[in-house]
Structure 1
C-alpha cells in the first residue's frame, strides 16, 4: 500500500532540515524534543548524539511518506505523519515533521536524530536489524495508519526512474498500461511451457508480441488499444527474452499443488484429493493473511504493487552500482596522483640542467602525474582534489545504502513468489471446480 522510504543522513544535516522546513514548500511543521531553526535543531541533535554510545557515520534519518494526488488534505497528511512518528519513534527520538504541498502529491518529510533520548542507544541498534529492518516496520506502520484514517496511499513512490508524470498518476489509479502489461506477461509466463508457447499465449490473450532475435530491438509488446509498442528492455530486466525463458523454466519446475481428482479411479482417492486440495487452498489463504491481504480481490493490485516496487529497487541498485564504479575510478586516480606527486615535486625542486636527466630516468611516473592530474581537473575544476579517505567513506556509504536495498529486494522477491504461488493455486482450484460438473456428466453421475 503506502510507499515510504528511509535513508541515513551522514553529512549536511542542517541543510537537509532547512530544505524540509522551507516555508515555500511546507504547509505544516511539527517539532518534537527540539526547537528553533534548522541550524538550532541540528545543534540539538548533535548535543544528544554526544551523549550516545555509538559514534558511527550516521547523524540522523530521513523518512518520506507520499500520498496520491487529491486523496487527502494537507492537514490529514500531516496527521498521518504524526501518527507514524508516534507509533515508530514512541516519543523517544527528537524529530521534525513537515508536510510539503509544492507538488501534485502531498507528502511528509521526517528527519529524526539517531540517538534515543531515554537510553542514548542508536536507532540502528534498536530498530534497524537485519532480521527486522526499519523500512519494513515503517511500511507496515504507515499502511496501518492510512487504513485507520481511510486514506489511499501512493503505491509507487515519488516520480522517478524514468516514469512520466502522466504514467505515474495513472499508476495511482491502477491504470498504468505498462504495469498492466507487466502483470499480464507475468501471468502468461507462469503458464507457459516454452518460449514459443509464451509467444502463442500472448497472441491468444490479446497481446501482440514481436520477436526478432536478429534485430537490435529483439522483443516488443503491444496490448489491445495501445498505439505504441513497449520494448522488452523498457519493461525491465525480467522481460528480456533470455530472462523470460529462464523464468519459464523455473515455473515449469515447480510442483503443482492442486491435484487432478479425475486421475484417480477410486472414489476414496478422489475424496482424499478433494481434502488435500482444500488444505492447500487454506494454506494459501493463510499465506495471504500473513501479507495483510484479506480477499482475493486485493491479490492482483498488491502483486502489481510489489512487482513495480521491485522494479524500482532494481533500477536504484543499478544506479548505485554506477555511482560506486565512478567513485572506485576516482579513488584509483587519487591513488595514482598521490604516488606520482612526490616525483613531480622532486622534479620541480631541481635546477633546470638536472631536470632533464631526472625526467629521462622517471618518464613513466611523471607522465602518469600529468595524465592523472588532467583527468582530476576535469572532475574538480577548482583544483581541490578530495582525499582517498573521503572518497572511500562516500563509497562505503553507497555500499551500505545498496545493502539496505538488497534486503528490501530479497523480501519483495519472496513476497512476489508467494503471491504468485497463491494466485496459481487458487486459479487451478477454481478451474477444477468449474470442470467438475462436466466430468461428472461424462461419467454418468449427473442426469
Structure 2
C-alpha cells in the first residue's frame, strides 16, 4: 500500500534557483535517511550534481522559449508505504517505476528512499523542464488522483496492497481533542491553590502570586500577568468567587472560598442537535379525530425517530436489546452515583465552610469572652460587646456537637481542597454522562415501542389469516 502526494516546488523569495534546488535535493539525499546514499537512484541526471543540472536545463529553456519561465522549478512526489510490507530496495524500485510512468521518461528525476521512520517512504524529485529543454510539465486538475492510480498499478504489479477508496462520510473522523486550558483558567487554578494556604488578606494573596511568577499591577483594579501573557488580566474579571467583594467577605471571615464549578464556554454558534422524541401513538391520535392526513404524518415521524435511533445504535456498536439494556442500566447507575457524589461533596464543603467560620470567630472573640467572664457576666459588658459574645457562644455550641474534638484549621483546608477537586472531577464526567444517559434511555424506549408495534402488527396479520382460513 502506498499513499502518494504531488507537491509543486516553488522558488523562494530572495533565494536563487540553484540554492532552492540544492536545499530540496540535499534533504532528499540525506545520508542518515538513505543509509549513506545506498537508496538513491536517478534517471538522466547524477544525484551528486542534480541541482546544477536542473538549473542548466532551465537556462537553456529560456533560450528556446519566449514564454515566461514561472516559479515552479521542480515537482516532488511523496510515496509512503505500509510499515513492514516492503523492503528499502523494493521501495526504491517502486518509486523509480512510478516516476518513469508518470513523467513518461520526458523529465530527469531522482528517487531517495528514507528509512529513518517506521514507514518507508520515497522522495521523488523531477525537473519541471523536459529533457529536450523545450517544454515544461504543467500540473492539471485532479493530477493527484491520476498519480495515485499510477502508483496503485505499480504496487499491484509488485504484489503490494493498495488503498481502498472510501467516500468522505465513511472515513474515520477525529472526535476526541485535547482540552485546551485558557489563561484565565490557569490563573483561577493558581488562586484556588493559594487559597488552600489560607492567606490572611489580599496583600498576602498577591505575594503568593508573585512567588509563582506573576507580575502584579496594583491600583484601583488589580491585574496579573503570567509568563505566557502579553497583557495584564484583572482579577475581578475572573468571574464569581474572584471579585473584590468576594475576597473581602472571605478575608473578613463572613464567607469561605467556594467558587462555583466552571464549564467550558464556546463562542461559536452550534446548531442545536435534534433530540430523540417519543414515538407517536397513531391509534391514540386517530381516536381523537385527527383523520388520515395526520395519520400519514405520524407514520413518517415515527420512521424518522426510529431511523435516528438505529443510527445512534450503529455509531455506538450496539447490536441487540440486551446490550442496549445493559448500557442504559450502567449509564443510569453511573449518573446516579455521580449525582450523589456531587451532592455529598457540596454538603461537606458547606459544613467545612461553617466550621472554619466558627473556628475563626472563636479565635477572634476569645479574649473578649474571657474578659466577659471575669466581669461576672455583666449585662453592661454584654451590651457593649454583644456581637463578639454571641459569635463566641455560637462557636462553642457548634464545637459541642462535634465528635472527636475540634479539628485543626490546616486539616480542614486540606480536606476542603481535596473535596473541591473531587467535585470538579465528578462534575466534568457528570455533564457527559447526563447527555449519554438521556440518549440511551430514549433509544431503548424508541426501540421497545417499535418492536412491540411490530409484534402487534404480526399478531393482527395472523388473526386475519386464521379468519380467512376459517371462512373458506
Please classify the TM superposition score into its range, dividing by the shorter chain length. 0.3 to 0.5
Instruction: Name which one, 1 or 2, has greater alpha-carbon Rg.
Output: 2
Q: Would you tell me which structure has more helix in proportion to its own residues?
A: 1
